């Protein structure tokens, strides 16, 4: 049997447990791990809170199966409910379980350790594999389909926005020009095209295709849209003093999380107003005071933690009805 502990090192595990556990102190507490992966964080949450139950959501059926095996091995399966879904189905997942409110929700965004280490789905530019990149293999859109069918303008926009790639348009143009005679099917194909397109004098450190691969993964899986739609859903299902804890690894993810959390920690009235109405008071308490980052020792032990940004808030009062509308509409527009 594969040693799952050897391939999965949860990022900032102690810090995440420290942020989640206070919300799970009562006997019937419920926490939702929206990005279950191989359940490294989830197992730690349940061990630290013996009375809590955990709902684990993941789009990847293989990850769900392996996580369930780990829960069985740890003797935690009686307090664990695995659900195959995308995390933006948060409302539906809770409804299917007959649950209205939860005490904490956790998100560890980006690729799971399983997806990073598995070479067959084309997530990594370091291994030659079909350009799939689907977190949920039951969906139809793949990276190869994006490269074969998207317009020059749309490809340029994706590489620029999601990959922050300086040479977005030349790369997109090269893809469009080449696909008539040589459609890109594998990670090697894409690597070679980017390598031939990006000037050697203007390349970032590492593989020049890194940002393009990142952008494709985000597009194929709708990661940013799903994130912006999910955060308001979580907030509306929190019990009082419930907590939202999120680890981000990409500036666009972190920006989305920061914007959402910060809006709830600020007084929402014009400056100088002598009396602040109850409905304008902050409804979140900032628990991390900005983002927590991995220190040098943590990065040395787990290089994947180098880019992590950990943020968390606690619900401290009722959320006004219109407060989350902006984020819900934003998510619908982008979806």
286-310 per-position pLDDT tens digit: 999 999 999 999 999 988 899 999 9
The reply to whether 98 sits in an annotated binding site is no
Instruction: Tell me the pLDDT tens digit for each residue of 12-34.
Output: 999 999 999 999 998 899 999 99
Domain layout of the chain by residue ranges: 4-115+223-334, 124-221
Give the lowest-confidence range in 57-61, 65-69, 167-171.
57-61
Binding site annotation covers 3?
Answer: no
Does residue 326 carry a pLDDT above 80? Answer: no
End-to-end CA separation in angstroms for the chain:
40
124-221: what fold?
A: DNA polymerase; domain 1 (1.10.150)
Cα–Cα distance measured from residue 17 to residue 312, given in angstroms and rounded to the nearest whole number: 12
108 annotated among ligand-binding-site residues: yes
Q: Of 39, 42, 47, 48, which Cα lies nearest the Cα of 21?
A: 48
From the options 3.30.420.40, 3.90.226.10, 3.40.50.150, 3.30.530.20, give the CATH code of 4-115+223-334. 3.40.50.150
Question: What is the model's pLDDT at position 124?
Answer: 65
127 assigned ligand-binding residue: no
Nearest 10 degrees: Cα torsion 263, 307, 4, 132 = 90
> Would you say 40 is a known binding-site residue?
yes
Distance CA 160, CA 89 (A): 28
pLDDT confidence of residue 111: 65
Which range is least confidently modeled, 75-79, 168-172, 264-268?
Answer: 264-268
Q: Is 41 annotated as a binding residue?
A: yes
Mean pLDDT of 58-84: 95
Whole-structure pTM value: 0.85
Q: Do 38 and 4 form a contact (C-beta atoms < 8 A)? A: yes
Q: Write the CB contacts of 195 (distance below 8 Å, at least 6 apart in sequence).
A: 208, 209
């Amino acid at each position: 049997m594969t040693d799952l502990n050897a391939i999965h090192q949860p990022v900032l595990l102690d810090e995440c447990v420290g942020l989640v556990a206070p919300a799970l102190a009562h006997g019937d507490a419920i926490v939702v791990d929206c990005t279950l992966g191989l359940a490294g964080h989830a197992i730690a949450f349940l061990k630290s809170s013996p009375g809590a139950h955990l709902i684990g959501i993941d789009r990847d059926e293989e990850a769900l199966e392996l996580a369930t095996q780990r829960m069985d091995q740890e003797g935690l399966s009686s307090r664990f409910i695995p659900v195959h879904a995308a995390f933006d189905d948060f409302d539906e997942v809770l409804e299917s379980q007959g649950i209205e409110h939860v005490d904490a929700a956790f998100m560890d965004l980006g690729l799971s350790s399983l997806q990073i280490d598995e070479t067959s789905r084309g997530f990594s530019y370091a291994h030659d594999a079909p350009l799939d990149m689907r977190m949920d293999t039951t969906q139809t859109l793949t990276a190869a389909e994006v490269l074969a069918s998207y317009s020059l303008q749309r490809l340029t926009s994706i590489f620029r926005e999601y990959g922050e790639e300086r040479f977005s348009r030349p790369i997109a143009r090269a893809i469009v020009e080449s696909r008539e005679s040589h459609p890109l099917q594998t990670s090697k194909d894409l690597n070679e095209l980017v390598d031939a397109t990006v000037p050697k004098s203007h390349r970032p450190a590492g593989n020049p295709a890194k940002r393009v691969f990142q952008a494709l993964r985000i597009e194929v899986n709708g990661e940013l849209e799903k994130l912006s739609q999910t955060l308001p859903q979580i907030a509306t299902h929190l019990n009082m003093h419930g907590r939202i804890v999120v680890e981000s690894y990409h500036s666009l993810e972190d920006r989305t999380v920061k914007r959402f959390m910060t809006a709830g920690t600020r007084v929402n009235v014009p400056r100088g107003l002598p009396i602040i109405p109850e409905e304008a008071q902050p409804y979140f308490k900032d628990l991390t005071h900005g983002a927590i980052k991995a220190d040098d020792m943590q990065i040395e032990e787990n290089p994947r933690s180098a880019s992590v940004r950990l943020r968390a808030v606690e619900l401290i009062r009722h959320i006004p009805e219109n407060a989350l509308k902006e984020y819900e509409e934003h998510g619908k527009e982008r979806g």
